Chain A
Amino acid sequence: MSETTTYTKKDFVSDQEVRWCPGCGDYSILSAVQTAMTQIGKKREDICFVSGIGCSSRFPYYMNTFGMHTIHGRAAAIASGLKIQNPNLSVWVATGDGDAMAIGGNHLIHALRRNVDINIIMFNNEIYGLTKGQYSPTTKRGVITKTTPYGVVDHPFVPASLALGCDATFFARAIDTDVKHLTSLVVEAANHKGTTFIEIFQNCVIFSDGIHEAYAGKATRDDNTIKVEHGKPMIFGKERNKGIILRGTRPEVVTIGENGITEKDLLVHDKTDDNMAYMLSRMKFPELPVALGIFRQVSAPSYEMDVEAQIAQVTSKKGAGNMKSLLHSGQTWNVG
C-alpha cells in the first residue's frame, strides 16, 4: 500500500450497540480484531467483513468497515465473489462452528482448496448458540445438548485436520481471551496471500460454558496448551520446562532436564512441513497439550490473482474487447 493511514482501535468501532450475552467470548475477539485492523496497513474503506448466520455472524455490524451479514453458511462463497471482483479489498469472514462446518462446509472446503485471498475466523464453541443449544459438528461425543438428551453420537470434525486436508495455505488456532496472541495471528493472516483460517476456542457462557476450560482456562492454559512458532523448539508449561519430541512418528511430552533431555532434543516447528502441521492438529488433551499458533503457512498462487493474470495475458495478446467488433466478428453475410 502506497499511502499509510494511521488508525486507532476506535476507528473500527461502529455505532451499533453490541448485543452478545454478558461474558461472551465474542467481545474479546471483537476487540482483538479491531486492534489488528489498525496494524494491517489497509484503508478502512478497503476492508469488508462478511458473515453467515449465528452469534458470531453479528460481527460485521460492529465493525466500522464495509460489511455483509449474509445467509447461513454462505459467507465464504459470498466473500470469494467479492474478493474476485475487487482483489484490492481485505476480505474477512466471521463464522462459527455450525455456520462454517455444517451448513457451510462445502463452501469452506472449496474456498480453502482454491486459496482465494480471504481470511476466515471461526469461533468454535462446539454448540449452536443463536438457536439455543443444539450440538454442532465440533461437539464431542457424549455431550448432552437440546437435541441430544442422551448424548451426542456423531463423531466431531477437527477443524484443523479438515483445513489441512483441503491444503489450506494458512491455518492457526487461538484462545478468545488471549487477546494479544489472537491479535498477532489476525495480523499474520492479513499479511498472508491466500485463504487463511483461524480457529478460535470461544466460550459460550450460556450453552457450553467452560467447554475449553480444561486447556484454555487462564489457570490451566500454560500447562495444557503449546504455542508453536516457526523455527522455535516446542516448549510449553508454566515453568517453560516441558517440550515435545518425536518417538517414532508420534509426539510425546518430555521434561527438559529429565532423562538427559535438553532443548536441542525437542521438535522445532516448521510451518511449511505438512506432516508437522497435521501432527499438531491431532494433538489432543489430556494426552498431549493442545496446539495453538500458526500450524501451517506456505506460499501458493492465490485464485483471484491468477484470474487477473489470465485477463491481463489474454488482453495484452488480443487487445481490449468491445462489443461492436465482437458482433461483427466471425462468419457474417449481407442481405440486400
Chain B
Amino acid sequence: MKELENVVIRFSGDSGDGMQLTGTQFSTTSALMGNDMSTFPDYPSEIRAPQGTVAGVSGFQVCFGATEVNTPGDEPDVLVAMNPAALKANLADVKRGGTIIVNNDAFSPANLKKAGYESNPLDTNELDNYKVIRIDISNLTTEALKNLDLDLKAKGRCKNFCALGFTYYLFDRDMDSTIKWIESKFGKTPVLKEANILALKAGYNYGGNTLITTNRYQVPKAKIEKGKYRQMQGNAATAWGLMQAAEAAGLKLFLGSYPITPATEILQELAKFKEFGVKTFQAEDEIAGICSAIGASFGGALAATTTSGPGLALKTEAIGLGVIYEIPLVIVNVQRGGPSTGLPTKTEQADLLQSFYGRNGECPTVVVAASRPSDCFEMAYEAARLALEHMTPVILLTDGYIAQGAEPWKIPDIEKEFRPIKTRMVDRKLAPGEQFLSYQRDPKTLVRPWAIPGMAGYEHRIGGLEKSENFGNVSHDAKNHQRMVELRAEKIARVVDNIPDQEVFGDKSGDLLVVSWGGTYGATYSAVRELRKEGKRVSLMHMKYLNPMPKNVGKILKSYKKILVPELNMGQLQHLLREKFLIETIGYHKVQGQPLKITEVVGLINRELESL
C-alpha cells in the first residue's frame, strides 16, 4: 500500500445521481479517521438540468490529508465520473497522471451523444495521460441487489454507494460510519437500508477482488491540534455564530430574510432552532427582509438579514436607515458572481466596494469578512458583537466558496473564546421629569443608548430625517447636519479600538507581502506556507476587519518591498489600500466564478520574487 500526504478526490455525476451525498460520506469518514480535510460542492443552478448533459453535472470535491488542509484542493488526483457528461465536464481539471474511475455501463451511445462525444473516449487515446479504472458500476449494483424486492430503477439509484465503496477500498477507508448513517437514514424502510449497504460493500469488495494491494493508498492521520472536532459548513457556521452572539448578549435572535443562492441555507438553518427562541421571518422580498429586521432591532432583538449580492443592492436604502437610526443590525452577504444575476452558484469577492460605498449620502458602516468555512462562526459573532456594542449596521462578507464548503472544526470553549456581549440597552429608571436623550453619545465611543418599546419614560421617535445632536429631533440645520455626518463617521472610525490588531503570517518584514481578505485565505495561506518552507521571504496579511481596518495595517504595509493583492474581483481591496495608505500594490484579478488555486498563488509569488 502506498502512503500519500494528501489526496484530492472529486465525485461527479448527473445532478440526480447523489454525488453530494457520496462526497459528504467520504469526507465525514475521512474526518473520523483523523485526516484534516476541506470540501466543496459544485452543482448546476438548474435543479434538474437535462439528464446526461454537461449542464446537469453535479460535483463534490474533497481534499483530505495527513497534514494541514486549508482548501478543497486545486486539481483532483482522482475523478469519479458516473457518466460521459461528468467525464467531459471535469477532465480538464484532473491532474495529469491522475486516476479516473468511470461507470463503464453509463458510456452508452445515447449517453455519449448527450454529453457531446462523437466516439467513446474510453476507446480512444484521449485518456492516455491518466490511469483509467473502468467499472460496470450499474451492473455491479443491480447484481448485488438481485435478491431484493426492489424495482430496477430503485436498485439503480444505489449505484452511488457502490462507487463510494470502491473509493473506500482504494483509500483504505472504514465503512462503519457510512453504514451507521445508512441505518439511521433508511431505518424505516429496511429494504432500502439493506440495498444501500449491499451496494457499498459490493463496491468495496470489487476493489478487493480486482486490485492488487500495491494499487491501494493510505493517507495517515493528520497531526492537528488535539481536541474535540465536528464538521462545519460555512453557512451553518454563520447561523450558529449569530445564535452564539444572541446567547452572549442575552437577546433573542431575529432573522428577516428572503431566499437567494447561495445564502438561503442560513435562513433554513436558523428556522430549525425554535427552542433557542430564534425567530425567522421569510419576507416577501429582500427589502422586507431587512426592514423587518430593523423593526425587530428597534424592538430589542439581535436582528439580522442574510442575502447575496443582488439582494444587498436591494437592501441599500434600508441599510442607510439603519445607519442614521444607529441601531444594531447584522447584514450577511454571501457573495456570488455578478453583476446583476451573474453567476448565482459560483463564487466571487466583488461586493467589497458595494459594502463600503453602495449607499446614498455619507453612510459609513462596519465591514468584516470570514476567511474559511468554520471562521464564519467567529466572524458572525464578531459582526453581531460590533453591531450591538457600537449601535450600527455591520456587513459580514462571506462567499459561495466558503459558505458551501465544509471542514473539521475544533469545537471552541465558548465561555473562554466568546465572551458576553455588553449591549447599550439602558438599564435604569429615569428620574422624575428627566428627559431621555436618544442621541446622547458615550464620549469615548460616540455610541448612543438603546431604549426599546416597553420601557416606560423612554418613549421617543427615531427617523430617517437628519436629527439634532443629542435630542434626536428632526433638524434641517446646516451646521447640525455637518456635525452629525462627522459624528457618524467618527463613531465607525472608533470601532478600531474594539477590534484585534492585524496579524501577519511569516516575517514582520521582507521581500514580499501577500495581502488577501475573505474566502481566499485557504489558497493564499497554503501558498505562502509552502514557499516559506522553501526559504522564500514572503509573508501573508489576511484581513478579516475591513472597515475600519486595524490600526497596524499601515505599518505592516510599509515593511515589505513588494505587496501582492490577489482577489476574486477587479482589484477592490487594492483600490481601498491605495486610497487609504497611498501605496502601490500588485494586483491579481480573477473573475471566473472559481476560487484561487494554491498553485496559482505560488506561481504569482514566485514571479514577483524573481523580478525583485
CB closest residue in chain B, given A107: B288
Asked whether A310 is an interface residue with its Cβ less than 8 Å from the other chain, the reply is: yes
Asked whether B505 is an interface residue with its Cβ less than 8 Å from the other chain, the reply is: no
Asked whether B301 is an interface residue with its Cβ less than 8 Å from the other chain, the reply is: yes
CA distance A318 to B244 in the complex (A): 19
Asked whether B317 is an interface residue with its Cβ less than 8 Å from the other chain, the reply is: yes
Asked whether A60 is an interface residue with its Cβ less than 8 Å from the other chain, the reply is: yes
A321 engages B273 (CB within 8 Å): yes
B465 engages A327 (CB within 8 Å): no
Could you tell me which residues of chain A, from 275 to 330, have a CB within 8 Å of some CB in chain B?
307, 310-311, 313-315, 317-324, 326-328, 330
Asked whether B276 is an interface residue with its Cβ less than 8 Å from the other chain, the reply is: yes
A86 engages B453 (CB within 8 Å): yes
Q: Among B101-109, B149-157, B219-227, B545-553, which stretch is in contact with chain A? A: B219-227
Could you tell me which residues of chain B, from 276 to 297, have a CB within 8 Å of some CB in chain A?
276-277, 279, 281, 283-285, 287-288, 291-297
Asked whether B206 is an interface residue with its Cβ less than 8 Å from the other chain, the reply is: no
A6 smallest CB distance to B (angstroms):
15
CA distance A335 to B274 in the complex (A): 32
Asked whether B275 is an interface residue with its Cβ less than 8 Å from the other chain, the reply is: yes
A66 engages B453 (CB within 8 Å): yes
- Name A310's contact: one of B274, B287, B455 (CB within 8 Å): B274
CB closest residue in chain A, given B453: A66
Q: Among A77-85, A177-185, A192-200, A219-227, which stretch is in contact with chain B? A: A77-85
Q: Which residues of B contact A47 (CB under 8 A)?
A: 453
Q: Among A22-30, A68-76, A242-250, A260-268, which stretch is in contact with chain B? A: A68-76
Could you tell me which residues of chain B, from 457 to 473, have a CB within 8 Å of some CB in chain A?
457-465, 473
Q: Among A38-46, A132-140, A144-152, A153-161, which stretch is in contact with chain B? A: A38-46
CA distance A79 to B474 in the complex (A): 21
Asked whether A102 is an interface residue with its Cβ less than 8 Å from the other chain, the reply is: no
B412 engages A85 (CB within 8 Å): no
A85 engages B318 (CB within 8 Å): no
* Given A46-B453, A70-B291, A88-B454: A81 touches B462 (CB 8 Å cut-off): no
Q: How large is the interface on A (under 10, 10 to 19, 20 to 34, 35 or more residues)?
A: 35 or more
Q: Which residues of A contact B277 (CB under 8 A)?
A: 311, 315, 320
CA distance A45 to B459 in the complex (A): 6
A323 engages B295 (CB within 8 Å): no
CB closest residue in chain B, given A88: B454
A323 engages B414 (CB within 8 Å): yes
Q: Among B26-34, B42-50, B54-62, B72-80, which stretch is in contact with chain A? A: B26-34
A335 engages B229 (CB within 8 Å): yes
Q: Which residues of B contact A191 (CB under 8 A)?
A: none
Asked whether B87 is an interface residue with its Cβ less than 8 Å from the other chain, the reply is: no
A80 engages B240 (CB within 8 Å): no
Q: Which residues of B contact A89 (CB under 8 A)?
A: 299, 453-454
- Name B284's contact: one of A61, A79, A110, A318 (CB within 8 Å): A110
A60 engages B461 (CB within 8 Å): yes
* Given A46-B453, A324-B414: A82 touches B299 (CB 8 Å cut-off): yes
B318, B456, B458, B463 — which one has the most chain A CB atoms within 10 A of its CB?
A: B463
B288 engages A110 (CB within 8 Å): yes
- Name B464's contact: one of A69, A82, A83 (CB within 8 Å): A69
CA distance A43 to B321 in the complex (A): 28
B interface with A by C-beta (< 8 Å): 28, 31-32, 34, 177, 224-231, 240, 243-244, 247, 252, 254, 256, 273-277, 279, 281, 283-285, 287-288, 291-301, 303, 317-318, 320-321, 410-412, 414, 452-465, 473-474
Closest 8 CB pairs of A and B: A81-B295, A336-B226, A81-B292, A69-B463, A67-B461, A82-B295, A85-B299, A314-B274
28 pairs from A and B in contact (CB 8 Å cutoff): A14-B461, A16-B473, A43-B456, A45-B459, A46-B454, A48-B453, A64-B459, A65-B459, A69-B464, A70-B291, A71-B464, A74-B318, A77-B295, A80-B288, A81-B303, A84-B292, A84-B295, A86-B454, A106-B288, A110-B288, A321-B273, A326-B276, A330-B230, A331-B28, A331-B32, A332-B229, A332-B230, A335-B410
A interface with B by C-beta (< 8 Å): 14, 16, 43-48, 50, 53, 60-61, 63-71, 74, 77-86, 88-89, 106-107, 110, 307, 310-311, 313-315, 317-324, 326-328, 330-336
